[in-house]
Amino acid sequence: MPSTSAAPPRIVSPSRRPRVAPDRSPGGRPARAARALRHASPALLAYAAVRLLGLLVFALWARGEHRGVWHLLAESWDIDWYLKIADKGYADTLGTQFDANNLAFFPLHPLLIRAGSVIAPEPRGAVGLAIAVTCSFLAAWGIFAVGDHLYGRRTGVLLAALWGSLPVALVQWMGYTESLFTALTAWALYAVLTGRWIWAGTLAALAGLTRPTGVALAAAVSLTALLTLFRQHRRVRRGEAQETEGGYLVRTLLGALLAPLGWLSYVGWVGLRLGRWDGYFAVQKLWHNEWDGGVGTLRTMYDLLAVQRPQLFLMMVTATLLASAALFVLSVGDRQPLPLLVFTGLLLLIVLGSKGVYFPRARFLLPAFPLLLPLAAALARARTHVAVTVMVTAAVTSAALGGHMLLAWLGPP
């Protein structure tokens, strides 16, 4: 991320390690980027090792069952929707058929697939998969940057590796949008933590064009920016700080205004296309996605745990949701920075509060990497053999569950 001039105090919790002065050494941005990449290389290597293990287990398992690895990773389920949007565009009517209107899918990923297909005329599935894999490493780098900034390098490395070891992490190397969205989220949150408000707003706007949950990131960036301005103004009035330079005020306000533009633009465009102000939400109803405050989620959990004999995949989804809620409580108790708490809190509220389909919710929570910070920080303080044992166990479990998700579970991830 490019550096900026010094800024007034920001609304973030103090880091758990001593502040380090910004890198002002000569060489320009390419040299600084190369140094930052070298600094992050242990995290990227750890992430690559975890995901390669998952891919190897999946490929061997699929071969044993005579299933097509390429089709499952690059063309199946929601990936096919994105490929068709890239080829033919969006629907222009609402219709009445359930689970059939492609306006439910946000446009950035299909646009990137279409652009990539012009540059490299390969099968569209190859372009989408290449985007996902590339963005997964950008996401791991951004996740490391956040962990390193708050707790130190060791925690950042473990945080990136934990993200690659989640139960449904195989999705990160499929042609889905989770890797793209997580990359934009991670770097947007890092930009907020380091006071790069225009970068934060721009990345949040792009995230809002990627997934519906981009609204959670937009709220985190905008709220933090506006609260920063308010607190700085109050400190100036009390005589506790000098008058803030005009350029900083403009950058912070611009970041707050930019952040929601992507999400609002697409939702507004769908409304205009369908000729009704609630067009996007009408589309979501046809996909069975409506807000009910979590009643549907609790009912499904009760049925799975007390009534039915659930499949392993649904039990894993339930465990992921419950663990995520518990980790959010730990994150609040750990006094994580405001933008991280707002983002993960709203994302959990959206995912748990919908009465839509249940099985993809573990995937929907993949971008909520700040929830893993308490675990990463605890492992960073643990003895090396303990941390290694936990990480190896997580990686092997993730590999097994990833194979089960695509080969044993008879539905989309």
How do residues 251-279 score in pLDDT, each as one tens digit? 999 999 999 999 999 999 999 999 999 99
Q: What's the pLDDT score for residue 305?
A: 85
- Residue 22 pLDDT greater than 50, yes or no: no
pLDDT at res. 237? 73
- The pLDDT assigned to 16 comes to 47
pLDDT in the model for residue 21: 42
- Using the predicted structure, report yes or no on whether residue 240 has a pLDDT greater than 70: no
Least confident of 12-21, 250-259, 342-351: 12-21
Mean pLDDT over the full length of the chain? 91
pLDDT confidence of 234, banded at 50, 70, 90?
A: confident
382-403 mean pLDDT:
97
Give the confidence band of 307 by pLDDT, cuts at 50, 70, 90: confident
Residue 318 pLDDT:
96
User: What percent of the chain has a predicted confidence (pLDDT) above 70?
Assistant: 91
Instruction: Give tens-digit pLDDT for 354-378.
Output: 988 999 999 999 999 999 999 999 9
Task: Supply φ then ψ for residue 29, to 5 degrees.
Answer: -65, -45
Listed range (120-134, 208-222, 276-290) with the worst mean pLDDT: 120-134
Q: What is the pLDDT of residue 6?
A: 37
What does pTM read for this prediction?
0.93
